[in-house]
Amino acid sequence: MRLLAGATQEARILAGGQSLMPMLNLRLAHPELLIDINPADQRQPSVALSNSGGLLRLPALTRHRVLLEHDLIRQHCPLLAEAVRHVGNVRVRNRGTIGGSLAHADPTSEIGCCALATGAQVVVRGPHGDRTVPVSELFAGYWSTTLAPAEIITDVLIPVARPRQGWSFQEMVRRTSDFAIVAVAVIVNLAERTGAIAAANVALAGVADRVVLADPGLTGSAASDAAIDAAAARIADTLEPADDVHASGAYRRRLARVLTARALREASTRAPSGDRA
Amino acid sequence: MNQCQITLIVNDRDYELWVAASDTLLDVLHDELGMADVRYGCGEGVCGTCTVLLDGEPVNGCLTLAVQAAGHQVTTMRGLLGPGEALHPLQECFLRRGASQCGFCTPGMVLTALDLVRRTGRPTREEIRYALVGNLCRCTGYTKILDAIEEYADL
């Protein structure tokens, strides 16, 4: 923190290094100061439930491999455990971290997508102490965040899955482990008695300059095929993805519609139906 | 450039070295220590030719700084050799199955596969395929590599 606050030139924080190191190797970034925050003994930080049991607290240096394998995460945030399968490869997952991934703010980030869909927050430490920032207010555009230069993410807080919750992660890539062309993360909560949709969060990657949240407008509706298809089409219509070398904007918008519908359907089916008679 | 003195433990041998703070582990292993089995491929962590084990886990040599590996156990493929440079059983399987052609990807393939088999025992063919998505081979078409790893897992 002292190094970061005292930096007079461009400083970058090195977490897992699986995005920043390629940028250094390819000369896309050239910070004057690189601050390595990895513990010298390579000790793994511990994932824990909050005292109330409502939040998962993941230290910023939690590696992707832990997200994939940890029992608490598989149980309380299965969406994230599933999505991390799509992140990088074995080596990248052994080093890459959840805090580093969010701070890197890649617009195709699977982890960013899940953080938005689950309503996660980050704990940020700066010269004036700690504050909590919802991930929905973290991203500012391509690879940039709303954090001040001397601030650093210390923890990620994820609300645990509720009893009547379903989830789905859908992604289209040209090659397994590559950057997503479009990815969609969905969380659906069903109402206690009626089984109608009480809340649905849709987060999309690869469709804008940052990962984005979209409102499917399904609250109170039954999770019917027609309602889901209409919601997916509405969301796709609000997006204006850019053309790039990997895919045209029109193709990305089409993917956003198809994957959103698929994800809403799977999430609704997955939500335990409870005492609906 | 900031120079640091570090001790790297590579294949159970200690090396006292002066390195630049910005040197990658790959730079030091390949260029300083002359280890030809750790190779520069893409520099982005995608191709797997610079794979080494850091405290037993596969990592990208090109995306790890040498100073980060100081004091930790680094294993390259040559570290798997037995007495008299005898091939590791997994390397024997690669040989028998014709899983190497030009050989450039082989060290990364072998180390990644070894980690997989250590962790999972007998991975399915699909699990092997998934574990190797980050190891590119431009010669074999992968089939022989999968065969070799399955044969080793069955030993």
ipTM: 0.94
Q: What's the token pair of residue A109?
A: 């980030």
CATH no. for residue A15? 3.30.465.10
- Edge to edge, the sheet with strand A212-214 lists A165-172, A182-190, A197-205, A212-214
B105 touches chain A (CB under 8 A): no
Nearest residue on chain B to A95, alpha-carbon basis: B59
pTM for the model stands at 0.93
Same domain? For A64 and A201 the reply is: no
Q: Is the pLDDT of residue A275 over 70?
A: no
Last residue of a domain, one of A130, A159, A188: A159
A81 and A60 part of one domain? yes
Q: What range defines the domain where residue A17 resides?
A: 2-22+47-159
Please check whether residue A31 lies inside any domain of the structure.
no
Q: Tokens in use for B45? A: 């962590």
Question: Where a domain ends, among A118, A136, A159?
Answer: A159
Partner A contacted by B44 (CB < 8 A): yes
- Nearest to B76, CA basis, from B94, B91, B92, B97: B91
Nearest neighbour of B133 by CB, restricted to A14, A36, A177:
A177
Provide the domain count of chain A: 2
Q: Which fold has domain B83-154?
A: DNA polymerase; domain 1 (1.10.150)
Residue of A nearest to B53 (CA): A91
**Structure tokens belonging to residue B75:** 């294993």
Closest partner residue to B58 (CB to CB) among A14, A38, A94 is A94
**What is the reported pLDDT for A276?**
44
What are the tens digits of pLDDT across the range B84-135?
999 999 999 999 999 999 999 999 999 999 999 999 999 999 999 999 999 9
Nearest alpha carbon to residue A110 among A188, A206, A18, A14: A206
The answer to whether B3-78 and B83-154 have equal CATH topology is no
Are A154 and A192 in the same domain? no
**Distance, CA of A175 to CA of A147 (rounded, Å):** 33
Q: For residue A59, is it within any domain?
A: yes
Residue A11, in any domain of the structure: yes
Which residue ranges make up each domain of chain B? 3-78, 83-154
**What percent of chain B clears pLDDT 70, i.e. is strictly above it?**
99
B3-78 classified as CATH 3.30.1490.20: no
**Per residue in A158-200, pLDDT tens?**
999 999 999 999 999 988 888 999 999 999 999 988 889 999 9
Q: Mean pLDDT over all residues of chain B?
A: 96
pLDDT band at A235 (very low <50, low <70, confident <90, very high): very high
